[in-house]
Amino acid sequence: MLTLFIQQVLNGLLDGVYYLLIALGLSLIFSLGGIVNLAHGAFYAIGAYLTIVLAPHIGFGGAIIASPLLVALIGIVVERGLFQRFYRSDPILSLLLTFGLAMVAEQSLRMIFGAPPLSFSIPAALRGQIIFGEFIYSRYRALLLLIAAACVLGLWFLLQRTAFGRVVRAGVQNPDMVGALGISLQPYMMAVAGLGIGLAGLAGVLLAPIYSIHPAMGQEIITPAFVVVVIGGLGSFWGVVVAALMVGLVKGITIGLGYTQWSTAVIYLMMLLVLLFRPRGLFGERIQRFE
Amino acid sequence: MTDRQPSKFRVSRRQALVGISAGAATGLIACPSLILAQTPDAIRYGHLTPRTGFLGPLGEYGVMAVDLAVEEINAAGGVNGRKLEALKEDSVNPQTASTKAERMIERDKVACILGEISSASCLTISQVAARNKTLFVNTGGNSDALRGESCNRYMFHVEHQNSMYVKSCGRSLMAQGLVKGKKWFSLTADYAFGHDLLKVAKRFMEANGGQFAADKLVPTDATDFSALLIEIRAAKPDLVISNLAGNQITNFLKQYSEFGLTFPVAGFGFDTALAWAAGKDNFGGVWPCVWHHLIDTPETKKFVAAFTKKYGKPPENQAWGDYTAVKIMAQSMNELKSTDTAKILEYWEKGAKFDVMKTRPGYFRASDHQLMSEMYTITALPAAQVKNQWDLFTSSPPVPGPNEELEVIATQGDEAICKMS
């Protein structure tokens, strides 16, 4: 019984990693541009559909690299064409814009690929189990975990240890001061949007073999991702990481204790508690322009 | 960027949160809808079915089938010499479904309402239909309760009831020795349909000497089953039972195969589209089916050919339900030379027979308005034997067999009591 519970706790932690890839990009784009990107889930769906198109030609490995890059490219076009007009306006406007964008993207997927879900399987080479003593885990998910961990570390390094990251962080805190120093934030915004949206695309590729692929799949993932961002704290990198793991963990424990039917409700309850007692989120910094 | 007003950039957290909540709320209520142009002398059917959400992909098959049926009926002269028009809308959820049903009846003056997949929405639509004395033909809601405690005079069911699904698949499981003295681990979709199906499945188990190792309710928006798969592995059941619905079944099958579990799988609720979405590497188990594209009858072959020609893929069982409902309604109106609800209702209750593309004709049972027709049990083929992306399974002969009454698989006696009001 205890082993089973520990397995559930570990599984829950790993489960949280999938929200992470979506939530990180969401948080990044919000932090820098103040854009509440409701279309983020749609980019995840586009990543999954691109995989179905690309994998037969370049293999799943090729798709893991190509799909997120293509999605990032779409993200950059969207940032240049649309997002940049809304950086200094009321977030309600960007919210309506991205909501519309999400609907257009979903409907386009429906028109191109049809409404019924499409099939895509784990490549034969990645099937099978990993066994550590009592703990048995899917090989494919272990790979997912490695890729996600590499992304988190890579992103952290980029933001904390590079000149690019310093400008982005300064831009988050005080865009006007950055401007006054003669640095144009424009290319940074573009890169951040591409990066964040590319991460959503990557999540799409990685989850395509284990989740149902249908046009509305973006909606399925966007709500938990928002919950993660709110719990973690807007603008906080580690907040999002910790919140994603916590959400997975709490879900895992809920199921482990036998309350499966509460496993979704419990993450909204977590968000409610955080909003009541610490509205800026667990690790939310006091960003002046958001107060 | 420096040329713009910096003050506008100050966004309060409160505003941002309000924005996020507003966006989420808009996402819940917004829905695409399609209303065809209306011509005054046409006979209009209202078609409501979910086109978004976890049942949306199935609803889309229903919509395609309605278009095909209307096209064929109009090509053959229409209904009583008038053109048939279908007003199709996304029912979204039970509340929206009843509002739209109300509008279709009062504003659009539809002759009847067809469609739906969610049992919960069927209930609200049927209440509106009964209040307005308009026929509602349910093409996809399985819950026994709709034919039992929640039945009403104006609701008929082309879709088969949960009891029929459970008894058809159950027969096959008994033949394989997976019931008596065996432990089942079941996963159930946590809404009206799932609860009803679980109730019927439990009744079947108790009557046939099996027991549940566990029965877990799964939220309808859950996409990850890893925690449940770990529990299944630890419980070592003799059979894993899915009472899941919609995309959940696909997610479950994909992850079941990913985790390499080998306990036999069966399910009591099923749609072929979900098997197609799981793909040959992941689809497994034994499932009941109200209709599938491999049935060997001339009418099924004709329907599959017409559908495939129009849409480039074979129809799935939800397409059969909506197509059959439109055809039965049109045929009845033509035979009666009337669109009068009372006349149609009486005609159906008296046992009019309809071709439902199976070996025997179907009829509505007067006691609960359930369409009586044969069911099938399908079994997944091993991946190596699969020739194309559609033909992933083999089918049992029709259930019940040729020497049995169709009623033997339906609710009997006190299993679901309908008092028509």
Domain ranges of chain A: 2-290
Strands B286-289, A129-132: parallel, antiparallel or unpaired by DSSP?
Answer: unpaired
Q: What is the pLDDT of residue B21?
A: 52
Judged by CB atoms closer than 8 Å, whether chains meet at B279 and A120 is answered as yes
How buried is residue A138: exposed, middle or buried, by Cβ count under 10 Å (0-12/13-18/19+)? buried
Judged by CB atoms closer than 8 Å, whether chains meet at B251 and A223 is answered as no
How many Å apart are CA A113 and CA B23, to the nearest integer?
26
User: Each residue of A173-195: b (16+ CB within 10 Å) or e?
Assistant: ebbeebbeeeeebeebbbbbbbb
User: Each residue of B83-120: b (16+ CB within 10 Å) or e?
Assistant: ebbbbbbbbbbbebbbebbbebbeeeebbbbbbbbbbb
Nearest-Cα distance to chain A for B118, in Å, is 17
How many Å apart are CA B11 and CA A97, to the nearest integer?
17
* Tokens at B420, concatenated: 């028509």
**Would you call the peptide bond into B400 cis, given omega within 30 degrees of 0 as the criterion?**
yes
How many Å apart are CA B327 and CA B84, to the nearest integer?
11
Q: Which residues contact B201 (CB under 8 A, 6 or more apart)?
A: B166, B186, B241, B243, B268
Q: What phi, psi does B393 have (nearest 5°)?
A: -145, 165
CA-CA distances (angstroms) from residue B23 to A64, A90, B92, B326?
31, 14, 17, 37
Start-to-end CA distance of chain A, whole Å, equals 47
Domain topology for A2-290: ABC transporter involved in vitamin B12 uptake, BtuC (1.10.3470)
Q: Name the pLDDT band for A4 (thresholds 50, 70, 90).
A: confident
- Helix/strand/coil for B39: coil
Q: What is the pLDDT of residue B18?
A: 53
Domain topology for B163-292+375-415: Rossmann fold (3.40.50)
In this predicted model, which residue has the larger pLDDT, B10 or B243? Answer: B243
**DSSP count for chain A of H helices, then E strands:** 10, 2
Query: Which of B5, B10, B52 is closest, CB to CB, to A289?
Result: B10
* Chain A stretch 224-283, residues whose beta carbon is closer than 8 A to a beta carbon of chain B: 226, 230, 234, 251-252, 255-256, 260-261, 263-265, 275, 279-280
Which residues are bridge partners to B266 per DSSP?
Answer: B241, B286
Q: Which residues of B touch A95 (CB under 8 A)?
A: 19-20, 22-23
Helix (H) or strand (E) holding B288: strand B286-289
Q: Which residues of A touch B247 (CB under 8 A)?
A: 117, 212, 214
Nearest-Cα distance to chain B for A230, in Å, is 9
Q: Are B242 and B252 in contact (CB under 8 A)?
A: yes
Q: What phi, psi does A24 have (nearest 5°)?
A: -60, -50
pLDDT of B29 higher than 60: no
Q: Over range A123-152, report the average pLDDT.
A: 88
Nearest-Cα distance to chain A for B261, in Å, is 10
pLDDT of A134 higher than 90: no
CATH of domain B2-161+296-372: 3.40.50.2300
Nearest residue to A144 (alpha-carbon basis) of A21, A44, A12, A248: A21
Nearest residue to A256 (alpha-carbon basis) of B386, B273, B216, B189: B216
Q: Which residues of A touch B227 (CB under 8 A)?
A: 8, 11-12, 15, 251-252, 255-256, 260, 263
Q: How many CB atoms lie within 10 A of CB A210?
A: 25
pLDDT of B30 higher than 70: no
Nearest residue to B66 (alpha-carbon basis) of B348, B344, B299, B328: B328
Same fold, B2-161+296-372 and B163-292+375-415: yes
Q: What phi, psi does A32 have (nearest 5°)?
A: -80, -40
Nearest-Cα distance to chain A for B300, in Å, is 21
- Domain-by-domain residue ranges, chain B? 2-161+296-372, 163-292+375-415
Q: What is the pLDDT of residue A74?
A: 97
pLDDT of A85 higher than 80: yes
Tell me the per-residue pLDDT of B203-235, one tens digit each, with 9 for 90 and over. 999 899 988 889 999 998 888 999 999 999 989
Nearest-Cα distance to chain B for A260, in Å, is 6
Nearest residue to A244 (alpha-carbon basis) of A23, A6, A7: A23
Nearest residue to B89 (alpha-carbon basis) of B138, B55, B53, B48: B48
Q: What is the pLDDT of residue A89?
A: 81
How many Å apart are CA A11 and CA A19, to the nearest integer?
14
Strands B155-157, B135-138: parallel, antiparallel or unpaired by DSSP?
Answer: parallel
Q: What is the pLDDT of residue B41?
A: 82
- The CB-based long-range contact list for A124-128 (8 Å cut-off, 24+ gap) reads A126/A60, A127/B258, A127/B260, A128/B260
Strands B393-395, B376-380: parallel, antiparallel or unpaired by DSSP?
Answer: antiparallel
Q: Name the pLDDT band for B162 (thresholds 50, 70, 90).
A: very high
Judged by CB atoms closer than 8 Å, whether chains meet at B227 and A265 is answered as no
Nearest-Cα distance to chain B for A291, in Å, is 5
Output the average pLDDT for chain B: 89
Which of A7, A263, A275, A291 is best to mutate for the B interface (most B CBs within 10 A)? A263
Q: Name the pLDDT band for A26 (thresholds 50, 70, 90).
A: very high
Least confident interval from A100-104, A256-260, B338-342, B371-375: A256-260
Tell me the per-residue pLDDT of B276-311, one tens digit each, with 9 for 90 and over. 999 999 999 999 999 999 999 999 999 999 999 999
Nearest residue to B98 (alpha-carbon basis) of B148, B136, B44: B136
Query: Which of B1, B278, B389 is closest, CB to CB, to A185?
Result: B1
Q: Over range B253-280, report the average pLDDT.
A: 93
In this predicted model, which residue has the larger pLDDT, B184 or B421? Answer: B184
Q: Over range B11-39, report the average pLDDT.
A: 49
Determine the residue of chain A that is closest to B190 in CA distance: A261
* Chain A stretch 20-59, residues whose beta carbon is closer than 8 A to a beta carbon of chain B: 30, 34, 36, 38
Q: Is the dihedral of CA A131, A135, A141, A145 positive or negative?
A: negative
Question: How many contacts, defined by CB atoms under 8 Å, are there between A and B?
Answer: 193
